[in-house]
Amino acid sequence: MCRAAGLGTIDGMSELDVVTVRGLRKTYGTRAVVDGLDLDVHAGEIVGLIGANGAGKTTTVECIQGLRRPDAGMLRVLGYDPVTQAEQLRPLVGSQLQDSALPDRLRVGEAVELFATSRTSDGGELLERFGLVERRKSPFSSLSGGERQRLFLVLALLNRPRLVILDELTQGLDPSARRSVWAAVRQLHDAGTTVLLVTHELDEAEALCDRVFVMRSGQVLDAGPPAELVDRHGRRASVRFTLPVGIPLDGLRHLDGVRDVEWDGRRVAVHGDRRIIAHVGAVLVRSGSVPTDLSVRVPDLEDALLGLLDGEPAADAAAEDELVGGHR
């Protein structure tokens, strides 16, 4: 996949790889912000970088875009070296950075014209696609948070890039605006665009990403589809209910997948892997008395990260709190 003479190949790189990173390292002073990171993004994927603030996510994507020069490692983006071949790479990558902003008085249509690099840009089609046609003459200052983020998506896609990099796309948006932006990102995916998404919103990563890389202190702790990370690291599922008469606790303890059963004299909590949901439900149905207070908690990506971070040094506790803060 190497496009230029003199570029070396990277072990494990395939024709489907849009981004390949090996051993990336970036330091500021004596602090390694990115430390020996390996990363692959395949064509047509939405890949997420997740982790607490300071994990090295933004520095990683800035190196991928050629905005920062790494201290060590090998990078290829669409076959190009983002440091030495930035000019060739730039038209192929669209991005929305964490601190993206436009002048308050700049109108939506003017922004599209400003960022278009050719007369063949799909500005009008993109404005329609992302629900901004009627705002074409509106100044940037009048747009809602969700509209601004959708406009940044339009600008990132104007010149038909093969890779789109999105950094904290929905930070600070209300739930309705977040869902609107998520729908726009799914449209990119459905159209075959490759997306590298930086986020600390775990529900966002779980909803959008084909794969995620969990970062901490500039390194990848684990990577894979969100569901697989949940299976590997997620904490137990729980089923809670008032125990009907006639169902013995010992019977619940011996169900397949059950790890333990808690009993407070009235309500019971059954813990284990996800199989227990079906088995406990079957017992209750057979008993003829399904409790009205029955509740189920299924492990999610937040549980997986908490499980993954278990056993990490106590000095990292603050970063862990920041990572999961606001998701409880």
Q: What is the pLDDT of residues 154-209, one digit of tens each?
A: 888 888 889 999 988 887 788 888 888 898 889 888 888 999 999 988 999 999 99
Give the pLDDT confidence score for residue 101 in this predicted structure. Answer: 82
Give the pLDDT confidence score for residue 129 in this predicted structure. Answer: 81
Predicted confidence (pLDDT) at residue 34 exceeds the cutoff of 90: yes
| CA nearest neighbour of 72 among 23, 115, 112 | 23
Distance CA 61, CA 196 (A): 8
Predicted confidence (pLDDT) at residue 325 exceeds the cutoff of 50: no
DSSP class of 177: H
**Please, where are the H alpha helices in 120-165?**
123-129, 145-157
For strand 46-50 and strand 194-198, is the pairing parallel, antiparallel, or unpaired?
parallel
Task: Give the residue-averaged pLDDT of 108-124.
Answer: 80
Distance CA 274, CA 299 (A): 8
Task: Give the residue-averaged pLDDT of 210-231.
Answer: 93
| CA nearest neighbour of 243 among 259, 266, 264, 272 | 266
Mean pLDDT taken over the chain: 85
Give the pLDDT confidence score for residue 130 in this predicted structure. Answer: 83
Share of the chain above pLDDT 70, in %: 88
Structure tokens at 104: 């308050």
Angle CA 123–187–146, to nearest 5:
70
Structure tokens at 27: 């330091």
φ/ψ (deg, to 5) at 238:
-140, 140
**pLDDT tens digits, one per residue of 270-324:** 999 889 999 999 999 999 989 999 999 998 998 888 878 764 443 343 343 344 4
Structure tokens at 146: 């969700």
For strand 211-216 and strand 194-198, is the pairing parallel, antiparallel, or unpaired?
unpaired
Task: Give the residue-averaged pLDDT of 121-138.
Answer: 86
Predicted confidence (pLDDT) at residue 7 exceeds the cutoff of 60: no
Strand order in the sheet with 17-28: 31-42, 17-28, 72-77
Share of the chain above pLDDT 90, in %: 52
* CA separation, residue 64 to residues 37, 141, 169, 191, 199 (Å): 12, 31, 18, 23, 16
CB atoms within 10 A of CB 171: 14
Where are the strands (E) in the chain, listed by range?
A: 17-28, 31-42, 46-50, 72-77, 93-96, 163-167, 194-198, 211-216, 219-224, 237-242, 258-263, 267-272, 295-297
Task: Give the residue-averaged pLDDT of 44-68.
Answer: 92
Distance CA 81, CA 103 (A): 32
Give the pLDDT confidence score for residue 15 in this predicted structure. Answer: 57
Residues 69, 83: contact at Cβ < 8 Å? yes
| CA nearest neighbour of 68 among 41, 28, 38 | 28
